[in-house]
């Protein structure tokens, strides 16, 4: 790599990102003075945001691309992430609850109620994320990249969450309170080994189906062969090249999935599986109370795990705060170091309507489903909860409807 080529990487954006990268560790140290677990989650959340942005990892595009283009590259990354996390989670779950009896489940895992509310939540979320152009985690890292439409989506997410809070009693009394939490190892007496085997077999089966879809659509993986440079690189040039590959160049969806799977395990080791909507729920509840839309604690919320349960009874610097803000901070670092931060506004004004409408649906359904694609799907499946698979199947249906909507409106 020539000096001119190397210098092209090191812009003002890059150096700002580098400074923020070092500040992640300083912030973690400051947080550790009050809570070591939150400090560890801050690092994990920052790594998650960095990985999401670097690999363009988005659950919305993983479903949408299957329907629109017959491409499963992003979905393969999702499957890899779930597979890695599931293997790691089994070790943690068996340590927390070695021999679960029927009806028992680890309270810190994302074992969520499953039933009609799960189906409604997953379907609405699937429509919302495809319409808005990104799921909640995708919205967060796109805000870090400077997308104005994603800011509108986030406003919609808060509006949707508040609407769910206002109607929470209805949903709790009519559905959620009557739905069971089905933890595969204990509910069906499958044990951890058999439950993991079933989970991995399903993931492999879906992976094969995706390959079949790609073969029929003509999609294939390809790699660009780089021209081999005749000159021998020095030690400093090799270090520089590796540094750029990690912090500036894009990663594949599979690499991102592998990284996210391992990061999820770190999350669980220090607190609970990952989720990004807990802080949104907490702040929405505070705003609802201040506007007299709701009064005090929501019914049954303290009995729930996942993103919703995590939002109960915490101060400002909490597990939910570091989980959500950490993702944004890590994504901002990644965008800056890759020189991809730029204020971007939609060319078509109707994009704002799509963003707001999709955001409202995601905020409402994420709260109803007790998590978004990360909390209620990824983390729930990896926690061996039946709710994760039901939410995922509902996402599939909702995403299909969502693609029909965006095709119709252009």
Instruction: State the pLDDT at residue 312.
Output: 55
Q: Report how far residue 108's alpha carbon sits from residue 45's, in angstroms, rounded to the nearest whole number.
A: 17
What pLDDT was estimated at residue 295?
A: 77
Please write the tens of the pLDDT for every residue from 192-244: 999 999 999 999 999 999 999 888 877 666 554 455 455 667 767 777 777 77
Q: How many CB atoms lie within 10 A of CB 292?
A: 7
Distances (CA, A) of 93 to 262, 264, 300, 379: 15, 13, 24, 13
Centre a 10 Å sphere on the Cβ of residue 224 and count the other Cβ atoms it contains.
4
Find how far residue 327's CA is from the centre of its chain.
9
Can you give the pLDDT at residue 358? 95
**pLDDT tens per residue, range 113-161:** 999 999 999 999 999 999 998 899 999 999 999 999 999 999 999 999 9
Gyration radius from the chain CA atoms: 21
Task: Return the pLDDT at 219.
Answer: 67
SS3 for 410?
A: coil
pLDDT the model gives residue 3: 47
> If residue 180 lies in a helix (H) or strand (E), which one and from where to where?
strand 180-181
> Which residues are CB-neighbours of 84 under 8 A, at least 6 positions away?
257, 258, 260, 261, 262, 264, 265
pLDDT lower than 70: segments of the chain: 1-10, 219-232, 235, 306-315, 410
Q: Convert 63-77 to b/e letters by CB count within 10 Å (16 or more is b).
A: bbbbbeeebbbbbbb
pLDDT at 223: 52
For the chain, give the longest Cα–Cα distance.
Answer: 71
Instruction: Give pLDDT, residue 4.
Output: 47
At residue 271, the pLDDT reads 87
């Amino acid at each position: 790599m020539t000096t001119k080529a190397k210098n092209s990487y090191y812009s003002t954006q890059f150096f700002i990102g580098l400074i923020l990268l070092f500040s992640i560790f300083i912030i973690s140290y400051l947080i550790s003075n009050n809570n070591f677990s939150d400090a560890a989650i801050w690092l994990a959340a920052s790594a998650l945001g960095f990985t999401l942005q670097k690999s363009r990892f988005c659950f919305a595009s993983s479903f949408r691309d299957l329907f629109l283009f017959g491409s499963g590259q992003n979905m393969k990354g999702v499957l890899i992430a779930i597979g890695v996390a599931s293997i790691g989670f089994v070790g943690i779950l068996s340590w927390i609850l070695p021999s679960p009896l029927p009806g028992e489940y680890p309270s810190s895992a994302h074992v969520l109620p499953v039933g009609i509310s799960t189906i409604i939540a997953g379907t609405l979320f699937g429509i919302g994320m495809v319409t808005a152009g990104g799921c909640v985690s995708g919205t967060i890292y796109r805000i870090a990249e400077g997308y104005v439409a994603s800011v509108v989506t986030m406003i919609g997410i808060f509006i949707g969450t508040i609407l769910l809070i206002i109607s929470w009693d209805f949903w709790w009394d009519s559905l959620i309170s009557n739905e069971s939490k089905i933890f595969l190892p204990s509910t069906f007496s499958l044990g951890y080994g058999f439950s993991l085997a079933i989970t991995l077999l399903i993931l492999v089966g879906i992976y094969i189906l995706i390959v079949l879809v790609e073969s029929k659509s003509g999609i294939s993986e390809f790699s660009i062969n780089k021209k081999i440079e005749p000159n021998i690189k020095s030690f400093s040039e090799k270090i520089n090249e590796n540094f750029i590959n990690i912090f500036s160049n894009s990663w594949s969806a599979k690499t991102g999935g592998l990284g996210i799977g391992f990061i999820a395990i770190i999350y669980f080791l220090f607190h609970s599986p990952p989720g990004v909507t807990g802080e949104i729920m907490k702040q929405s509840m505070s705003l609802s109370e201040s506007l007299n839309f709701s009064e005090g604690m929501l019914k049954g919320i303290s009995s729930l795990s996942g993103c919703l349960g995590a939002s109960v009874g915490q101060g400002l610097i909490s597990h939910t705060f570091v989980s959500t803000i950490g993702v944004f901070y890590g994504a901002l670092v990644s965008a800056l170091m890759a020189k991809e931060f730029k204020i971007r506004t939609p060319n078509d004004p109707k994009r704002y309507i799509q963003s707001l409408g999709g955001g409202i649906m995601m905020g409402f359904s994420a709260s109803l489903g007790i998590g978004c694609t990360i909390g209620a799907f990824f983390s729930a499946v990896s926690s061996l909860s039946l709710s994760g698979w039901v939410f995922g199947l509902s996402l599939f249906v909702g995403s299909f409807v969502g693609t029909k909507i965006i095709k119709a409106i252009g």
